[in-house]
Structure 1
């Protein structure tokens, strides 16, 4: 994951590589998410979505609230990078996210405004140079 963030997590953005593919067992239809990126100020997560063999399109997938009691920030030092660690928090499906699930599979796994997934993570933070 790469990006620039404020250590109070009120601004900045991030980009993650990799992807995730959902496949419907009954007919093999697929939905692939790649290139996740987020905006900390708006608490939004966008992905590049590919339904089957269609062209990849950006989708405003979900939003989230951060409970700062579930966030640990360790400042960088000369000997080690700092880190931001988030204990599990829920994401909420946005209308565009529900629409891409429906286009791929005929329905969304959860209604718009409902919890889509629970996430947790840790990233190393190095101070910017210059």
Structure 2
């Protein structure tokens, strides 16, 4: 009788152990799912935006280009301002779909820049400028001396609160360093024999903004533009 009771107790303990294992596995799966859902919910939505940006050559880049006789000009609707210490190009009509934390989406900047060398008319055209937000990269179509354009990674920036201010309806940045990418360095080298700065060095400083142009129920009305 005692042996039978001991056997029943042993079976009971085995069954309880299995039940506890099943319950623990279920709880772990639920916790993992909840964490993933919370992270997905925390991500900023991708929304339609418009805006603009001004990029200025750094002092080092401007000095290098000037020494080689290379001058920039703007491709409309971009405009060029040479009244300051370094040339600046303004792209006034940016548009796209982005997350305001700059984690996803992209935006186009119509217009472009042309760099021309006076002594031999060597030329580099940079058009179809695009912000690839997931990669923190500015891309462009580069054409050397009138050849067919090719897509390149032109410059890269660093995302985050050091460079950008984000509100519920707007993201903006001031004097954000844009570092020359290998693709950009290659394009300049093909056109002029050298790049104005080393790969990874600052080519431009950018100031710009994206404004939300759709209305989300949780955010409010469309902001006014300044």
> 1:53-68 to 2 correspondence within 5 Å?
53-68=146-161
**CA drift at 1:95:** 1.0
Once superposed, which parts of structure 1, at least 4 consecutive aligned residues long, lie more than 6 Å away?
none
Q: Which residue of 2 is the match for residue 16 of structure 1? A: 109
Task: Identify, as 1 or 2, the structure richer in strand.
Answer: 1
TM-score (norm 2): 0.51
Structure 1 runs not aligned, ≥5 long: 76-81
Superposed CA RMSD: 1.7
Task: Identify, as 1 or 2, the structure richer in helix.
Answer: 2
Question: Of the candidates 171, 184, 198, which is equivalent to residue 111 of structure 1?
Answer: 198
Paired positions, count: 123
| Larger-gyration structure (1/2) | 2
> 1:20-31 to 2 correspondence within 5 Å?
20-31=113-124
SS at match of 2:190: helix
Question: Of the candidates 16, 29, 32, which is equivalent to residue 125 of structure 2?
Answer: 32
**CA drift at 1:70:** 3.7
Matched, 1:96 2:183: yes
Structure 2 runs not aligned, ≥5 long: 1-93, 217-226
CA offsets per residue over residues 68-124 of structure 1, 9 Å max, x none?
14423343xxxxxx4322111101111111011000001110111111111111232
**CA drift at 1:126:** 1.4
TM-score (norm 1): 0.85
**Contact 1:5 1:13 (8 Å CA) reproduced:** yes
Q: Which residue of 2 is the match for residue 122 of structure 1? A: 209
Matched, 1:86 2:170: no
SS at match of 2:101: coil
SS at match of 1:102: helix
Alpha-carbon distance between aligned partners in 1 of 2:215 and 2:137, rounded to the nearest angstrom: 24
